[in-house]
């Protein structure tokens, strides 16, 4: 366990709080490994049926801790390709391949890889005061942590390029208007609203929600025929789940469904 990521499990929701507030929750190696360990746990434990990711203090995450990249300390230039492969890319893949809902509550500024980790989550809520900043251009880097992929797919090239090249902060409400996130909410309501959403999803048909995630993430890379085949195959799986039987029974008995996630 590490203090850099606070973890608690309640009502099926694994709440993960990035916790280096004095550095706006920027990533050092310890926080990377702690987050990865928790996401791995979310893959493995059946009791975890949703993940809620947020940040401690006034920021969500300011990306890489640049104190760990200080060129004035001397030595050869770092191999940032290697650090992406070792630290950021596994985290991105763990979020995208987790077949359970991942909710992100962006409580404040989300910059660099911090912004793009938020955008990799399934449902993103942001405090109205939060901003998304593709900060990379300010320090001569390129958008990473999946940002070049997600921004382009969600927003298209014109907005993706302008955000990435100018590093202009994108306020939460505009991010919601552009369809980059699910919604912007009043700061005071963010955590309660995100927790309620995560709790409700954690009580949902986890297997079906996981297959839904897989299906929707495949759509952009598939033809309609491929996607129809995939819908057929995954609906076959969903149709064999206990939660489908329970959902239909509950409907016919005019009562709320009691899903087990299987
Ligand atoms: O290296 C690799 O492995 C490759 C991967 C790269 C991925 C990346 O994410 S590259 C992008 C790195 N991130 C940035 O460039 C963002 C840097 N931060 C900022 O531009 C600003 O802090 C913000 C716009 C995010 C917020 O501004 P503001 O004015 O609200 O806060 P602040 O005063 O700048 O920051 C508060 C404190 O957090 C401050 O410390 P201090 O002066 O109070 O002791 C600041 O230095 C610290 N902080 C913020 N971001 C980082 C950071 N310290 C280290 N690294 C940071 N990224």
Q: Could you tell me how far CA 31 lies from the centroid of its own chain? A: 16
Q: Binning pLDDT at 50, 70 and 90, where does residue 32 land?
A: very high
The 183-185 sheet, strands edge to edge: 5-10, 13-18, 50-55, 102-106, 123-127, 183-185
Nearest to 217 by CA among 89, 40, 92: 92
Average pLDDT, the chain: 98
Interval 224-254: pLDDT, tens:
999 999 999 999 999 999 999 999 999 999 9
Q: Is the pTM of this model over 0.95?
A: yes
Select from 109, 3, 128 the least CA-distant residue to 62: 109
Phi and psi at residue 7, to the nearest 5°: -130, 135
Give the span between the Cα atoms of 236 and 18, in whole angstroms: 38
ipTM: 0.99
Instruction: Tell me the pLDDT band of 1, cut-offs 50, 70 and 90.
Output: low
Tell the residue nearest (CA) to atom 18 of ligand 1.
62
Please tell me if the CB atom of residue 31 comes closer than 6 angstroms to any atom of ligand 1.
no
Domain annotation for the chain: domains and CATH numbers = 5-202 (3.90.226.10), 206-252 (1.10.12)
> Ligand 1 test: best mutation among 21, 24, 59, 106, most atoms within 8 Å of CB?
24
Report DSSP state, residue 125.
Answer: E
């Amino acid at each position: 366990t590490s203090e850099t990521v606070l973890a608690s499990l309640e009502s099926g929701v694994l709440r993960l709080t990035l916790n280096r507030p004095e550095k706006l929750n920027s990533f050092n190696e310890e926080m990377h490994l702690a987050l990865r360990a928790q996401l791995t746990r979310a893959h493995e434990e059946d009791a975890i049926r949703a993940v809620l990711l947020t940040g401690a203090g006034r920021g969500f995450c300011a990306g890489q801790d640049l104190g760990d990249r200080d060129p004035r300390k001397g030595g050869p230039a770092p191999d940032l390709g290697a650090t992406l492969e070792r630290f950021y890319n596994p985290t991105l893949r763990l979020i995208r391949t987790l077949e359970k809902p991942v909710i992100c509550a962006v409580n404040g500024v989300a910059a660099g890889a911090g912004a793009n980790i938020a955008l990799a989550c399934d449902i993103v809520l942001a405090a109205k005061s939060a901003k998304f900043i593709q900060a990379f251009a300010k320090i001569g880097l390129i958008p990473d942590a999946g940002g070049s992929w997600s921004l382009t797919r969600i927003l298209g090239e014109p907005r993706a390029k302008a955000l990435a090249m100018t590093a202009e902060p994108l306020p939460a409400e505009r991010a919601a208007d552009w369809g980059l996130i699910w919604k912007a909410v009043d700061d005071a309501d963010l955590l309660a609203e995100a927790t309620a959403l995560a709790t409700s999803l954690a009580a949902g048909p986890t297997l079906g929600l996981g297959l839904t995630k897989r299906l929707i993430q495949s759509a952009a890379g598939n033809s309609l025929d491929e996607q129809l085949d995939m819908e057929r195959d995954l609906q076959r799986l969903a149709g064999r789940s206990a939660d489908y039987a329970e959902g239909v029974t509950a409907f016919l008995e005019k009562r709320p469904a009691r899903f087990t996630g299987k």
